[in-house]
Amino acid sequence: MTVKMVDVTGKPWVYREATARGVIRLRRETVKAIAEGRVEKGDVLSAAQLAAVMAAKRTPELIPLCHPIPITGVDVGFKLGEGFVEVEVKVRAVASTGVEMEALTAASAALLVVWDMVKKMEKDERGNYPTTEIASIRVESKVKGGAPVHHS
């Protein structure tokens, strides 16, 4: 069996947008430490936001058959709750193929950075992570065509 990149040469360039969301389950004390800025490695949400933007831009380097596209915007938001951090990433481009892989990659990278930055707080006495879990990474919505929505 072989693999190939799909040829999108004949597809028109149109506005595209995808929003992905994911969750990392953490101890309540860890989420509180994130909210209060008490994580030893630094500002968890700022680092995760930066990682998400970088990951969106580098998606074709990570996903072998993904087309490189000119990303025009990436928005990253977080919600902290009882025992979880949720990330939402919206990626925009004017291109001949969609941006859902970029949004999914960005959300995944953000959650991995959260885990990396708080892993010391999440480990049990044997160095394992019995309650830490990344879950439910999914595409929430896609937009194709139409006028671009301007974000502030």
Active site amino acids: 116
Phi, psi of 129 (to 5 degrees): -120, 75
One-letter amino acid at 23 equals: V
Rg (alpha carbons) of the chain, rounded to whole number: 17
* CB contact at 8 A, 130 and 3: no
Distance of CA 18 to the CA centre of its chain: 11
CA distances from 137 to 8, 105, 106, 130 (A): 27, 10, 10, 20
